[in-house]
Amino acid sequence: MKRYPIIFIVLTGWLFFVGTGLADGYQVDESVLDNAPYGRIISLYGAHTENLLAFGAAGQLIGIDGQSDHLSGAEGKEVFSYHDDPERFLATRPDLVLIRPMIERGYPRLVQRLEQSGIQVVSVQPTTVDQLEGYWRLLGQLTGREAESDGMNRAFQMAVVDFKRLSAQVEKRHRVYFEAIHRKMKTFTPQAMAIFALETAGGINVATDAPVRENNNIAVYGKERLLSHAGEIDVFLSQQGAMNQTSVAAIKAEPGFGAIEAVKSGRVYLVDETIVSRPTLGLLKGIYRIGCLLYPHIYCEAGRRILSAAGVDDLGPRK
């Protein structure tokens, strides 16, 4: 079996690959794309899986992550985890394994064993909206689905423009604190996708002073700093999911949170983390969901039409 190097891809505003050569204006390692499209792919990150399924590449996926078995097109796919023994991967003879940097850092034995067996491993995860276009294009190139990835990019960009037009109708914008992890008092950094969704939907991020760390969308904010903004917070949003298993009741019962204006008025809401923190077309659902919570009279019906035009099923409540 031919051996390929592990390709570790870092997205920091532009899409860079380790290696030489050019493809679509980006620096790439030629061996990655020379061997594309790949036909026996294992994806260990839900966003990769969701995007490939959206491209129509279900037939090329022989294995998926454990959070994606409910997705359309994923039915019956074998579920893999980075906790699995490397031999389980090798037994299925993949030609590409898609991971993200967290896996590459935390499970080097798995990655090294795959590489030693000649399997191409690609590690990539965009952290800002500016990186989505390059990320989707890369997945399209790896699967031979360039037209589909370009279509996704166009649909996303057009929908964002339309959502911003909706937000321009808002006369008084709500000030919002967007919680990332309740028990650690963490919020999102200003460049995070969740904040992009909030601001596109017409909200004002209260936590613009959140400390920024490179390649990290989450910031330690602290209760003291949060409560210093208590009177400014019209709406308290919290992502909910594997990263943040909280509830509205838990947020309202947090000591000191009774001083927060949004808690006093009962404007505390949960948003599914998969539609505000993942680099998929589902981010449009996050914009819509937040818009419906903040400005239902503007967003709930018109926003539904925007999602439909983008080919996205809505998740928001009807007015």
User: What is the pLDDT at residue 31?
Assistant: 75
- Is residue 15's pLDDT more than 50? no
Q: What's 168-309's CATH class?
A: alpha beta
* Reported pTM: 0.89
Mean pLDDT for 294-309 is 96
**Residue 133 to residues 103, 127, 144, 205, 232: CA-CA distances in angstroms?**
23, 12, 16, 24, 35
Across 76-87, average pLDDT: 96
Q: What's the pLDDT at 34?
A: 84
Going by pLDDT thresholds of 50, 70 and 90, the confidence category of residue 71 is very high
**Token pair 């030693």 in the structure block, residue:** 116
Q: What is the CA radius of gyration of the chain?
A: 21
pLDDT score at 11:
39
Q: What is the pLDDT of residue 318?
A: 35
Q: Which of 300, 150, 293, 312 is nearest to 235 (CA)?
A: 293
What is the pLDDT averaged over residues 301-314? 91
Residue 85 has pLDDT above 80, yes or no: yes
Identify which of 199, 204, 131 has the alpha carbon closest to the alpha carbon of residue 160. 199
Residue 94, token pair as written in the block: 């993949």
The answer, yes or no, to whether residue 114 has pLDDT greater than 60, is yes
For 244-280, write each residue's pLDDT tens digit. Answer: 999 999 999 999 999 999 999 999 999 999 999 999 9
Assess whether pLDDT exceeds 70 at residue 289: yes
Both tokens of residue 239?
Answer: 């992502």
Tokens describing residue 141: 């190139």
Q: What is the pLDDT of residue 20?
A: 29
Phi, psi of 139 (to 5 degrees): -60, -35
What per-residue confidence (pLDDT) applies to 213? 77
- pLDDT at residue 26, as a whole number: 36
Domain 7-144 has CATH 3.40.50.1980: yes
Question: Can you give the length of the chain in residues?
Answer: 319
* pLDDT of 29: 65
115, pLDDT greater than 90: yes
Model confidence at 314, pLDDT cuts 50, 70, 90, reads: low
Phi-psi bin for 2: left (phi > 0), alpha (psi -120 to 50), beta? beta
Residue intervals in the chain for CATH 3.40.50.1980: 7-144, 168-309
